[in-house]
Amino acid sequence: MNPMYGVKPQPSQEYVLPSSNARCRMSSVRVYLKQLKQPELMQLAKRKHAKISDTVSKGELIKILAPFVSQSEVLRMFRKNVQGAEALISGEHFERKALGVFKRMGYSCELNVRIKGSEFDIVGDRKKSWSGGKQWVLAECKNKPKVLLNDFMKFVGKLNTFQRRHPDDEVQGYIVTSGVFDSLLKSAKRDHPEIQLKRIKA
């Protein structure tokens, strides 16, 4: 019987430890599941026809779902069947939505700014309260199911170049997505505290 429905195996049933490949797969899936909000996890559980109480915590939901959900099923939640001009409009809408987030944080922002050979989806600044310098925010918007390590490293390069040109200012980078961040990217992010990862609904 499926443990997702809360049915315990009979005592006579033999318990088999998951293989190393299965444990590795579950670990990768958990990286994605931890990024999801509670309603998204409940939506995923409903797609798996799991009868789960609304009072179950996020941690318990992840434990229940991880053995039964694949990476592709998680990514399918964020896949959009749009192409051409419709995809372009969708991307621009997402950028404007992200722009609003940073404006509410007190930054004066612009979209699609080119600075000495590098282009940023969002560039914002505000004055420091205790000095004459500036606080900068530079954001890359990724309106797609999964942001990869390569996307992250490209942004790191652009951000580092900007930081060298503004040594007296505070520079904070953001990668904003409507999907999820790859597990390799999440690991690499630990070495880059100057970059934050943010998910917002498209």
The pTM (predicted TM-score) of the whole model is 0.84
Burial (CB < 10 A; 0-12, 13-18, 19+), residue 80, is middle
Band (pLDDT 50/70/90 cuts) for residue 3 is very low
Quote the pLDDT of residue 131: 66
Burial (CB < 10 A; 0-12, 13-18, 19+), residue 68, is middle
Percent of the chain with pLDDT strictly greater than 90: 70
The full set of domain ranges for the chain reads 3-76, 84-199
Quote the pLDDT of residue 18: 55
Task: Report the chain's mean pLDDT, rounded to a whole number.
Answer: 87
The yes or no reply on domain 84-199 and CATH 3.40.1350.10 is yes
The C-alpha atoms of residue 194 and residue 175 are separated, in whole angstroms, by: 11
Whether the per-residue pLDDT at 22 is higher than 80: the answer is: no
173 and 159 Cβ atoms separated by less than 8 Å: yes
- The arithmetic mean of pLDDT across residues 14-33, rounded, is 70
Quote the pLDDT of residue 104: 96
Closest of 43, 106, 92, 89 to residue 69, by C-alpha:
43
The C-alpha atoms of residue 41 and residue 95 are separated, in whole angstroms, by: 25
Backbone phi and psi for residue 111, each to the nearest 5 degrees, phi listed first = -95, 145
- pLDDT one-digit tens code per residue, 68-110: 999 999 999 999 887 888 888 898 999 999 999 999 999 999 9
E strands present in the chain = 108-115, 118-127, 134-142, 146-147, 170-177, 180-181, 195-199
- pLDDT one-digit tens code per residue, 119-160: 999 999 998 766 678 999 999 999 999 999 999 999 999 999
For residues 145 and 26, which has the higher predicted lDDT (pLDDT)? 145
Q: How many helices (H) and strands (E) does the chain have?
A: 7, 7
Quote the pLDDT of residue 13: 39
Band (pLDDT 50/70/90 cuts) for residue 194 is very high
Band (pLDDT 50/70/90 cuts) for residue 23 is low
DSSP 120-142: EEEEEEEE-SSSS-EEEEEEEEE
53-61: list long-range contacts, CB under 8 Å, 24+ apart. Answer: 61/33
Side chain identity at 82, as an amino acid letter?
V
Quote the pLDDT of residue 50: 86
